[in-house]
Amino acid sequence: MDKIFDFTYMVKCIPKLIPYLSATMMVTVISMLFGLLVGFFIAIVKIYKISVLRQIAMVYVSFVRGTPLLVQLYLIYFGMPKFLYFFQIKYGWFENINVNVIPPEYYAILAFSVNLGAYLSETIRSSIEAVDRGQFEAANSIGMSQAQIMLKIVLPQALIVAIPNLGNTLISTVKDTSLIFMIGIVDIMGEAKIIGARGLAFFEIYIAVSIIYWFICIILEKCLNLLEKRSRIFERSVV
């Protein structure tokens, strides 16, 4: 070993890792979308204090926030096939699904969606509650339904409030997807492990991975800052 760090090897590894970025971004984007849907549903349940569902939502949020994401990933990856197989044998449900050939990406998206739903529910709830209550009353006074109030009055304003927290969650999710190689998905982290094992140059390859993640997060941060500035301009014009 004549040198601590091989810069040339690290640079050569970056182009080899880039094609696998698609798996990382696919899991991130789809999970974020489903997580927003789950989070919005949980937020509405809490805001309107729907009795039974509210208790279930509280347990769900508490469990997700109190357990590591990796544990949740394993629970879904190893647990879902057992549940599907049980329902197939016991009740004849999901007979067209071959449990043994379900792509691991599906489990990763489900796990991340469940995780994000819990965290985003608090972001969405606090953003909705930040909207001036007088606007609810004004909308009610002109005969708007609760759905119309939520879609046309509340959500556009709540979105502006939520953008910073949503952006932070998105950036965190990009980094958290580095765990998906643990269930056999070859993303940039999984490919880095493969390349590192071939050349026994783990230090260089993980530096290359960190640079890619860093670059992606910088781009996202710049885009989110621009979006936030534009939304603030819109907010001032509305006021």
User: Looking at the 3D structure of the chain, how many domains does it have?
Assistant: 1
Give the residue numbers spanning the domain of 218: 7-238
pTM (2 d.p.): 0.89
Percent of the chain predicted with pLDDT > 90: 59
The pLDDT of residue 211 is: 95
Q: What average pLDDT score do residues 179-187 get?
A: 92
- Compute the mean pLDDT over every residue in the chain, rounded to the nearest whole number: 89
Flag whether 175 is in a domain. yes
Question: pLDDT per residue over 151-170, tens digit each?
Answer: 888 888 888 889 999 999 99
d(CA 98, CA 83): 13
Kindly indicate the confidence band of residue 238, based on its pLDDT and cuts at 50, 70 and 90: very low
**Straight-line distance from the first to the last Cα atom of the chain, in angstroms, rounded to the nearest whole number:** 65
Q: Residue 33: pLDDT above 60?
A: yes
Flag whether 2 is in a domain. no
Q: Residue 105: pLDDT above 90?
A: yes
- Which among 222, 239, 88, 104 has a CA at the least distance from the CA of 167? 222
The pLDDT of residue 107 is: 95
d(CA 147, CA 155): 10
d(CA 128, CA 181): 36
Flag whether 1 is in a domain. no
The pLDDT of residue 147 is: 81
The pLDDT of residue 62 is: 96
Q: Residue 237: pLDDT above 50?
A: no
Within 10 Å of residue 213's Cβ, how many Cβ atoms?
19
Question: pLDDT per residue over 38-79, tens digit each?
Answer: 999 999 999 888 889 999 999 999 999 999 999 999 999 999
Residues 6 or more apart in contact with residue 155 via CB below 8 angstroms: 128
The pLDDT of residue 233 is: 63
Cα 48–69–192 angle (5° rounding)?
A: 140
Specify the CATH number for the domain of residue 141.
1.10.3720.10
Q: How many helices (H) and strands (E) does the chain have?
A: 10, 0
The pLDDT of residue 112 is: 97
The pLDDT of residue 140 is: 80
Residue 199, token pair as written in the block: 């050349």
